[in-house]
Amino acid sequence: MRRSSYLARFLGSAGLLTVAAIGLAGCQTTGAPDITGSLGTKASTATPEADARRAVEAYGEKYRANPKDLDNGLRYGQALRANGQHEQAVAVLEQVNLTHPGNRVVLGAYGRALAENGSFKLAFDVLSHAHTPANPDWRILSIQGAVLDQMGKSDEARRYYASALKIKPDDPSVLSNLGLSYVLTKELPKAEATLRRAQQLAPNDSRIRQNLGLALGLQGRFAEAEAIVQADLPPDEAAANVAYLKSMLSSGQAGKTAAGQRSAAPSRS
C-alpha cells in the first residue's frame, strides 16, 4: 500500500502538479493565516496530521455556530482541505460561495477545493472568475495551469505558467508545476532543468525535491533519485519506492500509469 500510494502521488503527478501551487499559495490567496499556526499549538509536539484534525474541529465548531460568517467558512474549508476531506471541503465552500456570491477570495478557495476533488473543468471555470484579465493573480494562473495539465491540455497549461511567471518571475511553486507539466509529456531533460531551478530557489521544500526525484527516476537515474528522496523519507522506504519505480519502468508500466492518472482525482497536502 505504501509503495502504490507513493507512485500514485509521483507517477500520476495529479497531486504534485497542484500541491505546489495550491499548497504554497493557498493561504496567501485567501488572506488567512496558516490554520495550524492559529490554533496556538506547539509545532514541535504535534504532527501536521494532528494539527489538521484539530483545525477541522476548531473551525468546524465556529462554522456551525455561524455558517454565514465569511471568515469562518473560508477557514473551515481550508482546514478540511488540509485534512484531506476534499468532498466536504467542496460542500462547505460551495455554501460559502452561495452566501457570498461573486467574492473572489471565496471563488479562489472553492476552485482549489474542486480541483483537489477531481472536478477539473468546473474548477477551471470557477477559478476563471476568481481574478480578471486586467488584474490577474499569478497564484490562480498557476493553479489553472495545473488543472489544464490534468485535463491533458499541456500546451495551454504552459501558457498559464508563462503568464504567472511574468508576474512573479522565478517563483518556485510555478516552476515546480511547469516541471511536472514536462514530466507528463515525457520531456524529462526540460523537467529536470526546471525542477532543479525550483529547488535552488526553495531548497527546503520537500515537494519540489520529490518532484525532482521523480524526473530523475523516470530517466533511469535511480541512485540520484533515491539520494534526493531520502531527505524526506526513511532510507528503507525511499529505497523501496525507487525500486518499485525501477520495476515499473522496466515493465513499461510507468508511462501508462502517468497517462492514466491525468483524469484521476488529485491527492493534496
**DSSP summary character for residue 202:** -
The pLDDT value given to residue 145: 95
CB 160 within 8 A of CB 142: yes
User: Which residues of the chain carry a pLDDT beneath 70?
Assistant: 1-47, 252-269
- Could you give the C-alpha distances from 18 to 25, 101, 166, 224, 231, in angstroms and in order? 10, 25, 19, 24, 21
The pLDDT value given to residue 253: 54
The pLDDT value given to residue 254: 53
In terms of Cβ atoms closer than 10 Å to its own Cβ (0-12, 13-18, 19+), residue 40 is exposed
C-alpha grid cell for residue 118? 477531481
The pLDDT value given to residue 257: 43
C-alpha grid cell for residue 100? 457570498
The pLDDT value given to residue 250: 77
Residue with cell 485535463: 151
CA distance 223 to 245: 12
pLDDT tens across 185-217, in order?
999 999 999 999 999 999 999 889 988 998 999
C-alpha grid cell for residue 155? 500546451
**All structural domains of the chain:** 2-263 (1.25.40.10)
Closest to 207 in 3D by CA, of 15, 2, 12:
15
The pLDDT value given to residue 237: 80
The pLDDT value given to residue 17: 40
Closest to 152 in 3D by CA, of 13, 3, 4:
13
CA distance 25 to 5: 25
pLDDT tens across 66-75, in order?
999 999 999 9
